[in-house]
Amino acid sequence: MRRREFITLLGGTAATWPLAARAQQAAKQPTIGFLVSGTPSSHSQWVAAFVQRLRELGWIEGRTVAIEYRWAEGRTEHLVDMWTEFVRLKVDAMVTSGTPATAAAKQTTSLMPIVFVGTGDPVGASLVASLARPGGNVTGLSQLVSDTSSKRLEFLREVVPGLRRLGIMGYVNNPAVVLEIGEVQAAARTLGFEVAIPEVRRVEDIASAFDALKGRADALYVCADPFINTNRIRINTLALGVRVPAMHGNRECVEAGGLMSYGANIPDLFRRAADLVDKILHGTKAGDIPVEQPTKLDLVINLITAKALGLEVPPTLLARADEVIE
């Protein structure tokens, strides 16, 4: 969905709703606090999927529900302040994405229900007690990031047959990414790869990370993360500049010029998050709603990028792809 369509979806209904009726309804309608880890341009597709599913469930923004949006722009330092504002507003449900934002939300309140989307390991990150019985005030949808890391390496090896040196890039301020980096590193060494892991803590580190990878990486594994997704165009531009094929965790990064991705369909996760919010708004406790996992993993290949890198994608791999960009 294009940004213009997204803005129309979010604002069109409210613009035609009579002011007096809106003011009267506003006092009665529940409020959702939606903290988006990226920017309107980087995450509009995901937010629009959530809003559209709410509409299908009868929650019309500006009529039957209010949504307060906050945009973190890939930064973690102001997350607690944003969540504290939602607590002050007394929202009826909080929606977030990624482990750092969810951990900050849980730190801010133990009472208001929280629905997360796309955390790597919610149990390992102590966000929930278990997937079946989350307990507390948190539930959501896991992204199965770590369980798919070895599969991504297999796909990379098919496209880069001479792969011997692997770069691993991730936002190390995210605990889930640190865990994923460790798992990828172990899997890579099992395959006999040399590994280089440049540290990325801020936007300025991205360019220097690629400088550090020059001559040290035949391919790049990029860990899925809101910070990475927000900066996906920058990362893919730099990867193409040093002629290093990049494997990502979501299709949006491939649409932005990455070579391949394998992972959960994130817009689908946000759609399903709306179902969980619907249950909460109808009175179900968040801790009583089991954490859900992806029902579909997508393999997406960008043949335009492959051609620019001089790579031949095997027909057998193309046949297994869910989407081919050409």
* Same-domain pairing of 162 and 310: yes
pLDDT tens digits for range 250-267:
898 999 999 999 998 889
* Same-domain pairing of 77 and 203: no
Q: Looking at residue 173, which CATH number applies to its domain?
A: 3.40.50.2300
Task: Specify the number of domains making up the chain.
Answer: 2
* DSSP element (H, E) containing 95: strand 93-97
Q: Hey, how many other C-beta atoms are within 10 angstroms of the C-beta on 232?
A: 23
- In angstroms, the CA 38 to CA 312 distance is 33
- In angstroms, the CA 216 to CA 172 distance is 20
pLDDT of 194 reads 95
pLDDT tens digits for range 166-176:
999 999 988 88
pLDDT of 285 reads 97
* Same-domain pairing of 248 and 284: no
* Same-domain pairing of 119 and 166: no
pLDDT tens digits for range 142-182:
986 666 889 999 999 999 989 999 999 999 988 888 989 99
- In angstroms, the CA 199 to CA 173 distance is 10
Taking alpha carbons only, the member of 107, 235, 241, 244 closest to residue 166 is: 244
pTM of the model: 0.80
Domain that holds residue 187: 146-264+298-325
